[in-house]
Structure 1
Amino acid sequence: MAILKILTDDNPRLRLKSQKVVKFDKGLRQLATNLIQTMQQSNGVGISAPQVGELIKLIVVDVPEDMDYEGSPGFKAVVVNPEIVKCEGEQLGEEGCLSVPGWYGEVKRFKDITVRGQDVFGKPVKIKASDFTAVVFQHEIDHLSGILFTDLVLPNTLHKAKAAEDSIKDEIEEKVGETI
């Protein structure tokens, strides 16, 4: 296993279309394992092969339990050649990306989707996802076409995350103000 370097939005490889996987071998399974480890190390909930410079259709999704709605189950998947075959509803939410560190913005996505693809051994998989998990799937599948969330962000919603020390400073000032 290895932690891979995540490409950032200034790298033109992120804008290229990925190729369909036709060879389901040990190398593909190793890449999937490395993607999982890289995503976890970076505190992400999803990652795609193009984000580490591999232009193949492979994504990893790992949404922790209760991240979406209280009581919702966690969801983990590695999907090869994923495609959205059904979508319904709309939702609006803030997104970020491991390849666009520190930036966030509002993106309109489908609320419910069905994804078809294959596992790392080539067996067919069909996944139904809703809410935040559906957002993660759509975000990662976009990467396979060279699309970044910043291409889809609603006008005037893209913003840089507040630095941690600014956030702590604001919190302290708030608490001091409450005690006076």
Structure 2
Amino acid sequence: MAQQDTQQPVNDESGEAREFIVDTEDCEERERAHRERGTSRPITVVGNPVLHKECKNVTEFDDELAKLIDDMFASQRTAEGVGLAANQIGVDLKVFVYDCMDDEGVRHVGHVCNPVLDELPAERRLLDDSNEGCLSVPTAYAALARPDYAVVRGQDMHGNPIAVEGTGYFARCLQHETDHLYGYLYIDRLSKRDRKDALKQMAEGTPRYPVVAND
């Protein structure tokens, strides 16, 4: 079973990882291994209850979790996304995967279980108001201000503590996917007018990947 390529984290007294994982090496090989073992699943869309509540913590770091992560990479590739949370394929667990370029064109591939975003000091909260989209709000995009730097701490599929840092577009991805697992879609952070416009874009568009229809 392929593992996420990491440095051995050095833990502080609280058990948190203080070293950042290395998620930029052997990206193609690692992503392909996950994807080829996995099965692509349809994407749940806004309105599905699983997207609108906080997910359960991952407590079992077993073969079932590894299979879920494989399926998530397969689903992400089918949907041509750069990040995917478990509830986006209908699974009520705090885990997300990513395959995302940063603003310097460096590719990052990995996964995080039970993610928590670091609170940034004021001097690091430089906002970027680029467009954002979501596989669960297909065909819609809207500008959303987010910090252009992010640190996420959590665990890998084996239960080891990890920390991931990102800048630019990758920082946006880490924040977006963590939001998902706490029951927030990016459109929930928009003004009422912009949210309405995003939902209109979705209603008028046609998803390019299989989705789960809301009954």
TM-score (ref. length: structure 2): 0.69
1:148 has 2:185 as partner: yes
Shift of 1:156: 4.5
1:173 corresponds in structure 2 to none
Larger Rg: 1
Question: Cα–Cα, structure 1 residues 163 and 8, in superposed 2: closer, same or farther, change >3 Å?
Answer: closer
Contact 1:14 1:146 (8 Å CA) reproduced: yes
Match of 1:24 in 2: 61
**Residue 73 of structure 1, aligned match among 88, 106, 109:** 106
- Specify the code of the residue in structure 1 equivalent to 2:132: E
Question: Alpha-carbon deviation of 1:100?
Answer: 0.6
1:95-117, Cα deviation, whole Å (9 max, x unpaired): 11111111111111111111111
The match for 1:139 is: 176
Q: Which runs of 5+ in 1 are unaligned?
A: 165-180
Q: Which residue of 1 aligns with 2:116?
A: 83
> What is residue 49 of structure 1 aligned with on the other side?
86
* Structure 1 partner of 2:156: 119
Identity of aligned residues (%): 30
1:77 maps to amino acid = G
Distance 1:32 1:16 in 2: 20
1:86, distance to aligned residue in structure 2 (A): 3.7
How many residue pairs get aligned? The number is 160
**Is the Cα contact below 8 Å between 2:58 and 2:94 reproduced in 1?**
yes
The structure with more strand, counted as a fraction of residues: 1
- SS of the residue corresponding to residue 147 of structure 1 reads coil
Query: 3-state SS of the aligned residue for 2:144?
Result: strand
Residue 110, structure 1, aligned to residue 147, structure 2: yes
Unpaired stretches in structure 2, ≥5 consecutive residues: 1-37, 207-215
Give yes or no for contact 2:130–2:145 (8 Å, CA) kept in 1: yes
